[in-house]
Structure 1
C-alpha cells in the first residue's frame, strides 16, 4: 500500500473548506486502516513466535555442562 502513504499534491488552489475536510477524512480513514493492518500483522507474527519460544524454554540442559556459579 505504498501509494496510499505518499504526500498529496494539490494543483487546484481554489480548494473549498468542504473539499479539504473530505480529503482529510479520506486520508484519516486510509491511515487508520494501515495502522490496523500493521497492528494485526504484529500480533500474527507474535502468535507464530510463541510456540517456538515455549519449545526453546523447555530445552533440558545436561549436568555435563557447567552452570553459572559452578567453580569446579
Structure 2
C-alpha cells in the first residue's frame, strides 16, 4: 500500500470507533492520529495521500490496519 484513500481511512476510523465505549469522552491515541489525518485531508480536499507524507505513527497504524483487513492466504 503506497497511498491511503479517504474512504478507506473513514472506514478504518469507524471500525476503531466502534470498539470504543459509547460514553468515551476522549478518542484513543490511534483514533486521534487517524482523525488528525482525516481532518487534514478534508481541509485540503484530498481524496488520497501518499503514505510517505504521514507521520511514522499514522503510517504504522494504517499498515497494521491494512494487514489485519487482508484476507487470509490459502492453507
Larger radius of gyration: 1
Q: Which has the higher contact order (CA 8 A, sep 6+)?
A: 2
Going by fraction, where is strand more abundant, 1 or 2?
A: 2
**Same fold at TM > 0.5:** no
TM-score, normalised with respect to structure 2: 0.29
TM-score, normalised with respect to structure 1: 0.30
